[in-house]
């Protein structure tokens, strides 16, 4: 089995919690986590790859060909990536996996506590930021998945409105940060930077891990993160979809 970067178990646990809350049918083996959902959105139609063989790659391809949305996430191991290409997948985009070391206890006078945020309000901001292109039914299903996942939402309020938020998922070794976002009218005003700092303070003895677009890598590095790996997101090649049906 390949060696995985720090936080991969946290990532898997988060996908597992969201997929289950999205009422997806989950299958987990030593090689992958696979979720099949009835509603076409990425929170319930995905696979996260630990390891892969050609039979499994073909099975994922046939499944993906029957859905308008199916994302397959793979750590960049050459044999896996080449096998997925042969099965009919193509790389859609890549995300950086980043980690910041534990900062340890912070004196009380330097600590600004992070605020738990109503998860419904947090989910609405996440949908507005990341899932605008989906229809109302798909957005509703994503909202339900976030709200029912059991993963706490944290963030900041201004005049009673959520201006920044993220899901903050603890496990034994790391704290994972997912869907961190800032409201459109509040960007470039320091809210995101402040939220990341507060998350790191709250994590204290635990490293913080996250996935982000490549164009945000420099911003997170300025906040104490470093790149540990990348995550390639594959989708089925539309040119060969009819051949797989």
Structural domain boundaries of the chain?
A: 8-96+230-244, 100-228
Least confident range from 144-148, 182-186, 230-234, 241-245: namely 241-245
Question: With 60 as the cut, is the pLDDT of residue 243 above it?
Answer: no
The Cα 157–Cα 165 span in angstroms is: 9
Angle at which helices 136-148 and 119-130 cross, to 10°: 140
C-beta neighbour count of 157 within 10 angstroms: 14
Domain with residues 100-228, CATH architecture = 3-Layer(aba) Sandwich (3.40)
Burial of 137 (0-12, 13-18, 19+ CB in 10 A): exposed
Q: Are 53 and 38 in contact (CB under 8 A)?
A: no
Tell me phi and psi for residue 192, to 5 degrees: -65, -45
Upper half-sphere CA count for residue 42 (Cβ side, 13 Å)? 13
Task: Identify which has the larger pLDDT, 35 or 113.
Answer: 35
Q: Can you tell me the mean pLDDT for 122-146?
A: 94
Q: What is the DSSP string of 134-169?
A: S-HHHHHHHHHHHHHS-PPEEEEEETTEEEEEEEEE
Q: What is the pLDDT of residue 66?
A: 87
Q: What is the pLDDT of residues 54-79, one digit of tens each?
A: 899 999 999 998 888 999 998 877 67
Cα gap 54→176, rounded to integer Å = 31
Sign of CA dihedral 125, 234, 49, 223: negative
Each residue of 186-196: pLDDT tens digit? 988 999 999 99
CB-neighbour burial class of residue 16 (10 A; exposed 0-12, middle 13-18, buried 19+):
middle
Q: What is the pLDDT of residues 95-104, one digit of tens each?
A: 999 999 988 7
Q: At 240, phi and psi to the nearest 5?
A: -110, 5
pTM of the predicted model, to two decimals? Answer: 0.88
- Residue 80 pLDDT grade (very low, low, confident, very high; cuts 50, 70, 90): confident
């Amino acid at each position: 089995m390949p060696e995985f970067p720090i936080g991969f178990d946290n990532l898997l646990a988060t996908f597992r919690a969201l997929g289950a809350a999205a009422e997806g049918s989950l299958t987990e083996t030593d090689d992958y986590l696979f979720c099949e959902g009835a509603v076409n959105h990425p929170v319930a139609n995905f696979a996260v790859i630990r390891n892969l063989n050609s039979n499994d790659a073909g099975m994922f391809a046939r499944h993906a060909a029957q859905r308008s949305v199916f994302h397959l996430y793979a750590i960049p191991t050459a044999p896996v990536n080449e096998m997925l290409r042969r099965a009919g997948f193509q790389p859609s985009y890549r995300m950086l996996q980043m980690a910041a070391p534990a900062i340890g206890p912070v004196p009380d006078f330097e600590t600004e506590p992070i605020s738990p945020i109503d998860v419904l309000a947090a989910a609405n901001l996440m949908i507005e930021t990341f899932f605008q292109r989906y229809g109302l039914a798909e957005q509703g299903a994503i909202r339900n998945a976030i709200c029912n996942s059991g993963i706490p939402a944290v963030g900041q309020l201004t005049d009673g409105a959520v201006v920044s938020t993220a899901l903050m998922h603890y496990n034994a070794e790391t704290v994972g940060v997912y869907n961190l976002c800032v409201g459109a009218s509040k960007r470039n005003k320091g809210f995101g930077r402040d939220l990341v700092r507060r998350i790191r303070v709250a994590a204290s003895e635990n490293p913080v891990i996250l996935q982000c677009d490549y164009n945000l890598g420099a911003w997170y590095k300025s906040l104490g993160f470093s790149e540990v790996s990348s995550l390639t997101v594959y989708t089925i090649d539309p040119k060969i979809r009819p051949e797989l049906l």
